[in-house]
Amino acid sequence: MAYFWVKSLHLLFVVAWLASVFYLPRILLNINECAGQPTVQERLVLMGKRLYRFGHVMFGFAFIFGVTLWLHFGMKGGWLHAKLLLVALLFAYFIATGVMLKKSAVGDKLMSTTALRWYNELPILLALGAIYLVIAKPF
Ligand code: HEM
């Protein structure tokens, strides 16, 4: 019974964290498209900082329940190591996006809108890989 509650909570916080991972780069895209409108950009930066903080809290809880599934319920296998590698890349992506947001807040130029659109798609591929590995457990 506890296993299913821990896994449900793990997935709840994973979904909340992924929502912030997917949405934060879109705020950067909007900041880029609002060049010359400082008040709009300020509002977007504020939204981004709040989303970034929220994302870190959600990741913390997803991690605690994930490690509980791993160590307390004895999940193991190559799939878990490969999944955690993709999760680490997703986390690095989230940190890099946060650094870009903070740089744009002090007036640094962001990458081009086209580059940002491609950058936006990266976490979808990483998340799909992590979800497939944990559900199919192929190795
Ligand atoms: C933060 C570090 C994470 C750790 C340590 C972790 C660890 C785990 C473990 C041990 C399980 C149990 C597997 C089972 O019961 O069959 C699990 C389930 C799951 N995890 Fe994670 N996970 C983490 C992050 C994530 C992320 C970021 C995603 C999505 C991209 C994710 C998606 C899932 C899914 C979908 C399940 C349910 C699999 C099933 O029911 O078969 N996890 N996780």
| Backbone φ/ψ region at 76: left (φ over 0), alpha (ψ -120 to 50), beta | beta
Confidence of residue 76 (pLDDT cuts 50, 70, 90): confident
Pocket of ligand 1 (CB under 6 A): 7, 10-11, 14, 62-63, 66-67, 69-70, 75, 80, 84, 87, 90, 127, 130-131, 134-135
Answer whether residue 70 shows pLDDT above 80: yes
Looking at residue 35, its pLDDT comes to 87
pLDDT beyond 80 at 75:
no
Candidate from 57, 83, 126 with most ligand 1 atoms within 8 A of CB, to mutate:
83
| pLDDT(24) > 80 | yes
Q: Does pLDDT of 21 surpass 90? A: yes
Residue percentage of the chain with pLDDT more than 70:
100
pTM comes to 0.92
Q: Which of 87, 131, 134 to mutate to test the pocket of ligand 1 (most atoms within 8 A of CB)?
A: 134
